[in-house]
């Protein structure tokens, strides 16, 4: 594997098309490439940032020291008993096609989710009532240890069971510990299907794509839902009462998902935020939790400003701190200083 230090522009490696320069860049096509990359990082006292499809990230600034590894490790093995061993750079859509060819099902819910298996495991991606955690049997990782100065020190390669991955709503141990794990592959446990039931499974997948197109701006530049939905369990205070009153006022039917969450897109919609713009970024008219780029040269400060202002708005109204679902990579303190506009 070659480490390139030619200042690679990551514009084509993230779905927002944000233009940021990574001084050091490499492409991993097999397991040993990741091992070499981590060895390089330990020797050079830098960290690694793995990029899958770049469909769930926002870079806040140029990457001057750390090594960005574009994941192109794409192998699928049917190892029997309904288990596919899939390397982390494989697109979810390719896994679905492969599973249908092998009369296996279980990923129909992932219809229309761009990106790789690695990224989907990190965020425990989910849709239409399904989530990665439902099909993960184990995950093979490089686990990196840090020294007392917070630098990379050493690494081991190990296989983690589903129960060790701490999967939660749009989160996992991998998301909670940035730079500590590199996901190499995963064993996915799928269901056997009879040949005569295959077209019914394919129909579900196609219907899900159709539903997604109807309800989400999937042909626009975005990174999916920017914020996590609001978990009602953690707001037991007076502010919860204020928020509940607001929900009643907007005629919200108490239809929480199994995780007891209120959809944030709906809240933004009812607050009249659809279509609001900060120069190169707009709140989608189709789904208000999607921030879409309306320019080929989307500006990081527009995107970050929109995120910051939406967070502030919800906090000021309800004293509720909303979390981003997308991963912000870079210096948030510096980004805050450049916040512009108002909502
Ligand atoms: C139009 C659209 C619709 C979407 N719909 C959904 C949806 O319905 N449900 C949903 O959950 N998400 C959705 N998303 C968000 C996104 O597609 C998913 O979260 C996807 O799984 C991210 O995968 P990725 O490969 O693009 O990850 P990336 O964006 O490349 O990475 C995300 C994070 O994971 C880390 N990472 C990636 N690969 C590895 C690895 N191998 N090892 C360690 N860390 C890694 C990255 O460093 C980063 O921190 C949508 C996005 C778009 C643009």
Q: What is the pTM of this model?
A: 0.96
In angstroms, the CA 94 to CA 104 distance is 13
42 CB under 6 A from ligand 1?
no
**Distance (Å, rounded) from C-alpha 337 to C-alpha 114?**
32
**185 CA to centre of ligand 1 in angstroms:** 15
Kindly report the protein residue whose alpha carbon is nearest to atom 1 of ligand 1: 218
Helix then strand count (H, E) for the chain reads 9, 21
Q: pLDDT confidence of 230, banded at 50, 70, 90?
A: confident
Is the pLDDT at 332 greater than 60, yes or no? yes
Q: Is 53 touching ligand 1 by the criterion CB < 6 Å? A: yes
Please tell me the residue having the least CA distance from ligand 1 atom 43. Answer: 182
What number is the average pLDDT over the span 337-343? 86
114 close to ligand 1 (CB < 6 Angstrom): yes
> How far is the C-alpha of 35 from the C-alpha of 249, rounded, in Å?
55
d(CA 188, CA 165): 14
The response to whether residue 183 sits with its C-beta less than 6 Å from ligand 1 reads: yes
* Phi, psi for 74 (deg, rounded to 5): -130, 85
Ligand 1 mean position, distance from CA 115 (Å): 5
**Statement: residue 297 has pLDDT above 70:** yes
The overall average pLDDT reported for the chain is 94
Distance from the alpha carbon of residue 194 to the mean position of ligand 1, in angstroms: 31
Kindly list the structural domains of the chain, giving each domain's residue range(s) and its CATH number in brackets, ordered by start.
3-71 (3.30.43.10), 76-211 (3.30.465.10), 219-337 (3.90.78.10)
Alpha helices in 124-237 (DSSP H): 173-176, 198-215
User: Which whole number is the average pLDDT over 172-178?
Assistant: 97
226 lines ligand 1 (CB under 6 A): no
User: Could you tell me the distance, in angstroms and rounded to a whole number, from the CA of residue 245 to the centre of ligand 1?
Assistant: 34
* Residue that the structure tokens 């779905």 belong to: 15
Spacing, Cα 125 to ligand 1 middle (Å): 7
Residue pair 25/8 in contact by the 8 Å Cβ criterion = yes
Position 275 scores a pLDDT of: 96
């Amino acid at each position: 594997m070659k480490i390139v230090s030619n200042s690679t522009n990551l514009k084509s490696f993230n779905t927002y098309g944000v233009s940021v320069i990574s001084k050091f860049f490499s492409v991993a096509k097999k397991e040993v490439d990741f091992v070499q990359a981590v060895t390089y990082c330990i020797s050079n006292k830098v960290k690694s940032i793995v990029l899958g499809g770049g469909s769930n990230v926002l870079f806040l600034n140029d990457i001057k020291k750390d090594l960005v590894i574009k994941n192109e490790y794409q192998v699928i093995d049917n190892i029997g008993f309904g288990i596919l061993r899939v390397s982390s750079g494989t697109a979810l859509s390719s896994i679905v096609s492969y599973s249908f060819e092998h009369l296996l099902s279980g990923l129909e819910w992932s219809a229309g989710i761009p990106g790789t298996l690695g990224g989907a495991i990190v965020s425990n991606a989910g849709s239409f009532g399904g989530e990665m955690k439902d099909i993960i049997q184990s995950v093979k990782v490089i686990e990196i240890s840090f020294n007392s100065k917070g630098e990379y020190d050493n690494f081991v390669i190990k296989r983690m069971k589903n129960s060790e991955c701490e999967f939660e709503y749009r989160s996992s141990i991998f998301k909670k510990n940035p730079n500590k794990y590199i996901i190499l592959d995963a064993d996915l446990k799928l269901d056997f299907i009879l040949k005569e039931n295959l077209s019914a499974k394919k129909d579900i997948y196609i219907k899900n794509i159709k539903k997604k197109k109807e309800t989400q701006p999937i042909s626009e530049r975005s990174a999916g839902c920017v914020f996590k939905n609001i978990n009602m369990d953690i707001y037991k205070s007076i502010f919860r009462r204020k928020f509940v009153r607001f929900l009643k006022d907007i005629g919200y039917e108490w239809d929480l998902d199994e995780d007891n969450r209120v959809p944030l897109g709906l809240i933004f919609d009812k607050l009249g935020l659809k279509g609001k713009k900060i120069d190169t970024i707009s709140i989608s008219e189709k789904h208000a939790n999607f921030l879409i780029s309306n320019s080929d040269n989307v500006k990081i400060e527009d995107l970050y400003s929109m995120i910051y202002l939406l967070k502030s708005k919800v906090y000021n109204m309800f004293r509720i701190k909303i979390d981003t679902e997308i991963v912000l990579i870079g210096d948030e303190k510096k980004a805050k200083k450049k916040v512009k506009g108002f909502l």
